[in-house]
Structure 1
């Protein structure tokens, strides 16, 4: 891994937030994208060319998150993860980032692997999770509240069809991103089958990881975690809008405002980490973190709104 890529990983972590495995959220995003495709089905096919590219990007982000989470979870997964790095060595620069809690060894492994085909993806997951493919075929939701009803019907109804569709997806994406085809490389009518394959694979893989790390999880906590994250996203959007309005004020020192906001962000993250640290490693951590950050963000937005209303030229 090139040293210059370390900062890129850190920036990705910041954009991602505290989440590693985003399976449930990604499923809803993909479903929404499919709905968008249906709503513009009469438009030029160039829009549809975006969808396979987006799907593969989604899969890649999802898998790297899984790899990072697994490798960081225990010594056993770390030892398996070492096999994926092909002898790559952690240098002093990366070690410094780890010491500052900016990166983890899981990040190192996750960004050292190649995921340019579904075969490569399966190879990575088979290396980390024993009998991954067999578990994937049988994967089903593992809510604690439903344990008495296990095993539930598998999420993937036809494993070979799903893998075949994903293989086609990666092939289409490769052509669209590395070539300039003069003819369509897939039929828009295939969007449904490609979408279904991605949805099934992400959801089933998500539950295989849950089984591997936790055995089962409570349904109510997941719902609360997702709800808290949604609130945080909403508050961050309001803050961004308030910043734009304040930046536009006549006579305001924009450079000073940017520096002040950067210091606030650093402080807010530190405060949030401190509050959430009492739940570190627990299922409530994500909810507490998002709730605390949302509250601080709400307060910061109120400060900016007040600044705007009291500004001498407002």
Structure 2
């Protein structure tokens, strides 16, 4: 049986294997790779086709765990709504210590402890956080990019919701059989794999649209708008960093001011260097500014917390 330390280490290791903490970005990268491979499925041996249900369920589990984490860590009202999802989780000193030390977040801990081995599990968890039935909501979700940017009619992403849900459930079933049984007399129908792939991909896209609009209503859609929005968020974070830095320097003696200035300059260099390192995975792409600003803003937010804590710890706040 896993101990809570195993769970904490598992969360940390899982995080280290991702390029980002964005459910949307991780889904885009993983699903686009799978879709390209699926286009060449005719060249694959029948046995290798069985990989697709396994990979699709990994996408379902990975995406929805990360989305649940994002929603809960956003705060109210999702944090309060997540209370019922924590009932079977083991909360002991190791977990409290990891949360206090910011090794893991509340969202990560809860998301890790939620079962996601069938469609009903996903619906239960997301419905609790959304405050309404997820599968019912997905019936009418439309692709904003399609109708706002491309000018297409506003139509639901899922043209046949019931058929989609049935095919996703079948994909979960296939994955279980392939991964956990020898099943020597069981023939996996290629049509089930193909139907499941299309349905699961559309289900994920509809789910991402619903969650995205819930967390960030009317968010920018074009890459240019995303770059502008990311830049504005970084500017706002850096303005707060500088305001706090100015506050601290006003309360220090000249010698300490010089020390602080050197440390702060080193932090700024680190922020810029690390953000560039992360963004350069997309060097030459139009998404580069969004990745750079997002990475830098995350570091700036941590710096804000650090400076606020310094002010509190040394009685400089106020």
TM-score for the superposition, normalised by structure 1: 0.67
Aligned residue for 1:297?
A: none
Bigger mean CA offset, 135-144 vs 29-38: 135-144
**Post-superposition shift, 1:221?**
3.8
In structure 2, the CA distance between the partners of 1:204 and 1:4, relative to structure 1 (3 Å rule), is: same
| C-alpha RMSD of matched pairs (Å) | 3.3
- Counterpart position of 1:126: 127
Task: Report the 3-state secondary structure (helix = DSSP H, G, I; strand = E; otherwise coil) of the residue aligned with 1:52.
Answer: helix
Aligned twin of 1:248: none
**Match of 1:49?**
50
Separation in 1 of the partners of 2:207 and 2:5? 31
Matches within 5 A, 1:208-219: 208-219=210-221
Match of 2:180 in 1: 178
On the 8 A contact 2:147/2:153 being kept in 1, the answer is no
Post-superposition CA distance 1:19-56 (Å, at most 9, x none): 2313333331231231232332xx2x211122211111
Deviation at 1:189, TM superposition (A): 2.8
- Identify the residue that residue 34 of structure 2 maps to in structure 1: 30
| Cα separation, partners in 2 of 1:117 and 1:222, compared to 1, 3 Å | farther
More off after superposition, 94-103 vs 48-57: 94-103
Q: What is the rounded CA distance, in whole Å, between the counterparts of 1:11 and 1:38 in structure 2?
A: 35
Residue 210 of structure 1, CA deviation = 1.1
The 1:127–1:221 alpha-carbon spacing in structure 2 relative to 1, beyond 3 Å, is same
* Residue 274 of structure 1: how far off its partner (Å): 9.2
Match of residue 161, structure 1, among 145, 160, 163: 163
For 1:11, the equivalent position in structure 2 comes to: 13
- Structure 1 range deviating more: 108-117 or 185-194: 185-194
The CA deviation at 1:173 is: 1.1
Q: 1:221 to 1:94 in 2, by over 3 A?
A: farther
Residues 46 and 145 (structure 1 numbering): CA distance in 2 closer, same or farther, change over 3 Å? Answer: closer
TM-score under structure 2 length normalisation: 0.67
Within 5 A, what are the aligned runs for 1:214-293? 214-221=216-223, 271-272=270-271, 286-289=291-294
Secondary structure of 1:16's counterpart equals coil
Which has the higher relative contact order, 1 or 2, with Cα contacts under 8 A spaced 6 or more apart? 1
- What do the CA deviations read for 1:170-218 (whole angstroms, capped 9, x no partner)? 1111111111011234212332211111111110000101111111221
Cα separation, 2, equivalents of 1:286 and 1:82: 32
> Unpaired segments of 5 or more residues in structure 1?
229-266, 277-283, 293-314
SS of the residue 2:184 aligns to: coil
SS at match of 1:154: coil
Query: Any conservation in 2 of the 1:30–1:195 contact (CA below 8 Å)?
Result: no
1:222 and 1:73, CA in 2 relative to 1: closer, same or farther beyond 3 A? farther
Inter-CA distance 145–92: structure 2 relative to 1 (3 Å threshold): farther
